[in-house]
């Protein structure tokens, strides 16, 4: 099972990334837990300075942009 974290305070891009993550998981029929991380201290634990951030299985995949659907999994 994948663990996907969307890092961000709730900005438009953060919400868009969360939507993309849900869509990709549904389309691929992958078992995944999608977690929205909004606490600033928790976000900073990943050493990112701009959001949205995407973490898959505790690996930082992207930040500061909306990743492609392929990057989500």
The answer to whether 4 and 56 are in contact (CB under 8 A) is yes
Please report the pLDDT score of residue 47 as a whole number. 95
Q: By C-alpha distance, which of 69, 70, 44 is closest to 7?
A: 44
> What's the CA gap between 11 and 16, in Å, rounded?
9
pTM for the whole structure: 0.93
> What's the CA gap between 71 and 65, in Å, rounded?
12
pLDDT digits (tens, 9 = 90+) for 50-73: 999 999 999 999 999 999 988 988
Q: Which domains does the chain have, with CATH numbers?
A: 2-68 (3.40.30.10)
């Amino acid at each position: 099972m994948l663990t996907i974290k969307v890092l961000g305070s709730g900005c438009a891009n953060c919400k868009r990334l969360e939507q993309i993550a849900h869509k990709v998981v549904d389309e691929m029929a992958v078992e995944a837990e999608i977690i929205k991380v909004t606490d600033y201290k928790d976000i900073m634990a990943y050493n990112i300075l701009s959001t949205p951030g995407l973490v898959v299985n505790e690996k930082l995949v992207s930040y500061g942009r909306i990743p492609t659907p392929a990057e989500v999994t």
